Every structure is written in C-alpha cells, then in structure tokens.
C-alpha cells in the first residue's frame, strides 16, 4: 500500500473510497469531478460454523482491504501521498472485538445475518428496545459473555468493540482512533436516536461497558488520519457511512422525500426525511442517513430480503440462464408472464411482514410455460416486493416523484421498467452501480472542501430514466392479484 513521495496538484484532487461489503471489499479512486479512475475488488470468504452462525476472519478482511487499495491506486496512477481524503462505506450491524493496544482481533467478525442470539434479541425487544436478531446488540453480548479472550481484554482495559468500519479506521490510524459515525451507530440497536448517543441502559443489559464502544462522530468530517507506517502517507479519513445511507448520498438523495432503491442480493429502499426522525409503516425503521457538523439527516429504510439472489437462483438453482444478464432479454422475449407468478421469498419476507419463516413460491405453471415466463415472473415478483416496501417508507412523506436505482440488478432493463410501471413513478438508473462507494467519496470530498454538499444533488445525471407506461387500472389489478399471492405464502406459515 506504500507509495513514493512525489505529489502533484492533480494527485491531491483524488479521493479514495473503501466499500467493505458482506461478500467482498472494493476500493475506487475518484478524480476531482468524482469520476472513477481506478478500482479493484476482492471477494471475502464467510464461515458458517453452526446453523444460524455467520462469521468472517477480521484479518482476511483487512488483508483484502489493503490489497484492493493498492490495486486501485495502481490502476488510477495515484500515490497514497497524493490523496486528498478517504471515505469508508460498509456492511452494517456486524461486530468484532480487538485489542486496543496491539490491534489484534480477539474474535471472528459476527455478520449482520448471524442469528445465533435470536432468542435473546426477542427478550430485549419485549422489554421495549428496538432490537432484532440482525443488529449488533446480542452479537456484542455473545462475544463478551462467551469468548474468554474478549473477557480477558475487558478485564485488562484493552477491549474495543465495533464493526468493520471502526476496525479499519483503527488499523489505518495505528490505533489512534476508535470511532463510528452516527449512520452506522444507528443500525447497531445500541443507539438512542433522540439523544444521538449510546443507549446506556441497553449497554448495561447486554453487559457492555461504554468504554468498549467507539466514539460516535460525524459521517462527514475529518475522523482520523492514516499513518505513514501503515498507509505510506498521512491522509485524512473524512467520510464514513453505512452502505445504504452512503448510497443515498451517492445518488444525490439529499432533499427530504428523495428515495433510492439499491438492487443487490437484497433490495433496500430508503427515503430522506431531512431533519425529522419520522416513522414509516410496518417493518420499516428510522435511521440516521448521515451527519455533518453535529446535525443528523434522517431516513426511513425498508428491505426486500431476496432480490438479486432470486436472479442468481434462476442461474444456479434452476439453470434456466447461464448468466444473470440474460434475464432481461429473456423476459422481454414473451408478451407476458403466461399466467406464471413468483414470490421471491427465498430467505423470508422483509418489510412490511418481517417473517423469516416465509419461503419462495412459483405458481400458475402449465404445459405451455416456457423458461422465459418463469424468468419474467421472478423479475416481476422482485419489483412487486419493492413496491410493498416503498409503500411503507413513503407513509409519512407520500410517494416520491422519482425513485433512483443502483446496485447490480439495476442493470436489468426489464426489471426497472416493470418497477416504474408497478410504482407509477419514473425510475432513474444511476450511471454508476456502486452508490455506496460514490457516497463515501462524496462525503469525504465535502469534508475536505473539494466539493459542496449542495452540488451532490445538482450533479445527479441518470444513465437512463424508465417512465411508467401502465394504466392505473392495470396497476391496481396487478397489485390486488399480488396481495393474494402473498396471502397464499402466509397461509403456509399458519
């Protein structure tokens, strides 16, 4: 990761974004116009040591992070000593423990979808805390109560707890800073949203000392400085944000009511609620979108548990396509779905149902059914689920004028056209699919004065706009039929 010493004014206009996802870590170098000019990606292995357990090796994550940073800088022809700032986006609600003095990991990183302590999460939820099995609370409690190395570090006053963003900042700063931003903190379950700090009563119930937790800082502001020993230069880490909130910033959703959907393995829908902490419909949750100068911007989020993963199933499970990119043309090759319908609940139903036991269903098959009908029905099912979630996040704000889209599955033309049709609002596709990395870069660029936050909204230029062309009557008919399909899936759980 080290670089040589010569720095030019051109180099100083570059920003490095690090995006630590669940399945891989990516580094992208952006120029002064926030155009990507070098990138690298490396997959991250995940271990599943027992049912409901999901872990990653923190050293593997750190090694991959170092590798992609070096490769992205080489691709861009930029030296570490010439970077103006670094921004970090990351998977949220994962947690690990490390030694504050040696920075050695004391535990695996327990991932957001690790549900080993789901029963304990239900107990805390019954006490009135906003806790579910996905957030960090019971994972942190598990580490403190069951891991002897973690307990020993706690007794010695050397314990740090945090997510991959906090661990990365600790490593890059040589252990000088133990920090998390408000956006990430708000996804842990430990956050008191009205007080903008850790909820001390919940920390007490979980047996977690406040001293073990990271200091909560702004998402946009100078958080730490890299060391020459680790990074090869002193560069400000000036942006930090959870991946979904960062994608909002990256897609220019900076005004109240602005909405985005990230079509990844899951699909996440977020609406900006500005200065107001607002509550959406069932299965949605308020989060800090980002904070600057001590002032939070709020958002409502809802999730479609299975989106891009359903397309992967068509490829890997049914083998009806050899490449996910084929699904758009295949869906467009037939006039309609031929009566086939699909509910893509392979990993349960998220917002507004929050039903982890639900499973996917495909129906309406006949001797005339072709693979194109099944593919089309699955893509329609993903869009229908996004419409379910959008209705929930829009409860306090009303429908947005447009919805902006990023993520791998946003490249699917059929999906986005049907999404516009079933929502009745235009869908604007981002020209850059990794909104999280772009958002992290933009937050860092704003913090160090390379750009202004007002420019973030003005600079939005979609790759393509999908206008709705479905009649209201047809839309209502399809939505009513969809609700009946969901009832069929729900009946199986009774």
pLDDT of residue 357: 78
In the numeric block, which tokens belong to residue 119? 């029963």
399: three-class secondary structure by DSSP: coil
pLDDT of residue 458: 77
Alpha-carbon distance of 427 to 342, in angstroms, equals: 22
Q: How confident is the model at residue 442 (pLDDT cuts 50, 70, 90)?
A: very high
| Mean pLDDT lowest among 19-28, 243-252, 345-354 | 345-354
Q: How confident is the model at residue 9 (pLDDT cuts 50, 70, 90)?
A: very low
pLDDT of residue 494: 54
| Mean pLDDT lowest among 122-126, 217-221, 356-360 | 356-360
DSSP codes joined into one string, 13-24:
GEEEEEEE-SSE
- List the one residue out of 244, 220, 187 whose CA is nearest residue 404: 244
Task: Convert the pLDDT of each residue in 300-321 to its tens digit.
Answer: 999 998 999 899 999 999 999 9
- List the one residue out of 133, 187, 198 whose CA is nearest residue 165: 187
Q: How many CA atoms lie within 13 A of 106 on its CB side?
A: 25
Average pLDDT value for residue range 256-279: 95
pLDDT of residue 311: 93
Of the chain, the percentage scoring pLDDT greater than 70 comes to: 97
pLDDT of residue 1: 63
- Classify residue 414 as left (phi > 0), alpha (psi -120 to 50) or beta: alpha
* Segment of 11-20, 244-253, 352-361 carrying the highest mean pLDDT: 244-253
Average pLDDT value for residue range 394-414: 95
Average pLDDT value for residue range 479-484: 96
What average pLDDT is seen over the chain? 93
Alpha-carbon distance of 442 to 250, in angstroms, equals: 7
Task: Convert the pLDDT of each residue in 159-171 to its tens digit.
Answer: 999 999 999 999 9
In the numeric block, which tokens belong to residue 488? 């069929």
Task: Convert the pLDDT of each residue in 62-113 to its tens digit.
Answer: 999 999 999 999 999 999 998 999 999 999 999 999 999 999 999 999 999 8
Is the per-residue pLDDT at 4 higher than 50? no
Domains in the chain: ranges and CATH: 11-243 (3.30.420.40), 252-429+463-494 (3.30.420.40)
Q: How confident is the model at residue 464 (pLDDT cuts 50, 70, 90)?
A: very high
What's CA 82's distance to the chain center, in Å?
29
DSSP codes joined into one string, 30-77:
E-TT--EEEEEEEE---B--STT--EE-HHHHHHHHHHHHHHHHHHHT
pLDDT of residue 492: 63
């Amino acid at each position: 990761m080290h670089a040589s010493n010569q720095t030019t004014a051109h180099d100083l206009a570059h920003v490095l974004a690090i995006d630590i996802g669940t399945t891989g870590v990516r580094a992208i170098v952006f120029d002064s116009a926030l155009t990507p000019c070098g990138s690298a990606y490396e997959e991250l292995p995940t271990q599943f040591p027992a049912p409901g357990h999901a872990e990653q090796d923190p050293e593997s994550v750190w090694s991959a992070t170092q590798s992609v940073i070096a490769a992205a800088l080489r691709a861009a022809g930029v030296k570490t000593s010439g970077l103006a700032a670094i921004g970090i986006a990351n998977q949220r609600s994962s947690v690990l423990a490390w030694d504050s003095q040696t920075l050695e990991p004391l535990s695996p990183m327990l991932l957001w979808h690790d549900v080993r302590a789901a029963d304990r999460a239900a107990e805390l939820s019954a006490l009135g805390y906003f806790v579910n099995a996905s957030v960090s609370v019971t994972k942190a409690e598990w580490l403190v109560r069951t891991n002897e190395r973690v307990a020993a570090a706690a007794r010695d006053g050397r314990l740090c707890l945090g997510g991959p963003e906090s661990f990365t900042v600790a490593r890059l700063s040589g252990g000088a800073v133990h920090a998390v931003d408000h956006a990430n903190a708000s996804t842990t379950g430990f956050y008191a949203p009205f007080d903008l700090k850790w909820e001390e009563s919940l920390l007490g119930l979980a047996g977690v000392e406040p001293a073990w937790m990271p200091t909560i800082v702004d998402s946009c502001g100078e958080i730490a400085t890299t060391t020459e020993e680790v990074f090869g230069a002193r560069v400000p880490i000036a942006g930090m944000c959870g991946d979904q909130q960062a994608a909002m910033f990256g897609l220019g959703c900076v005004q109240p009511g602005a909405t985005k959907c990230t079509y990844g393995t899951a699909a996440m829908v977020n609406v900006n609620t500005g200065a107001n902490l607002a509550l959406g419909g069932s299965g949605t949750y308020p989060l800090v979108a980002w904070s600057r100068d001590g002032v939070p911007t709020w958002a409502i989020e809802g999730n479609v548990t299975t989106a891009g993963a359903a397309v992967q199933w068509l490829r890997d499970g049914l083998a009806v396509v050899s490449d996910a990119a084929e699904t758009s043309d295949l869906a467009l090759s037939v006039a309609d779905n031929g009566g086939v319908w699909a509910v893509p609940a392979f990993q349960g139903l998220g917002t507004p149902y929050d039903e982890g036991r639900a499973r996917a269903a495909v129906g309406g098959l006949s001797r005339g059914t072709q693979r194109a009908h099944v593919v089309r029905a699955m893509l329609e099912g993903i869009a229908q689920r996004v419409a379910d979630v959008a209705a929930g996040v829009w409860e306090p704000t009303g429908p947005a004028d447009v919805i902006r889209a990023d993520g791998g599955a946003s490249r699917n033309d059929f999906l986005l056209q049907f999404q516009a049709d079933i929502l009745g609002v235009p869908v604007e596709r981002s020209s850059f699919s990794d909104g999280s990395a772009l958002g992290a870069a933009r937050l860092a660029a704003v913090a160090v004065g390379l750009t202004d936050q007002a420019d973030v909204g003005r600079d939005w230029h979609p790759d393509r706009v999908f206008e709705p062309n479905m009649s209201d009557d047809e839309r209502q008919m399809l939505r009513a039929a969809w609700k009946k399909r969901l009832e069929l899936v729900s009946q199986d759980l009774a």
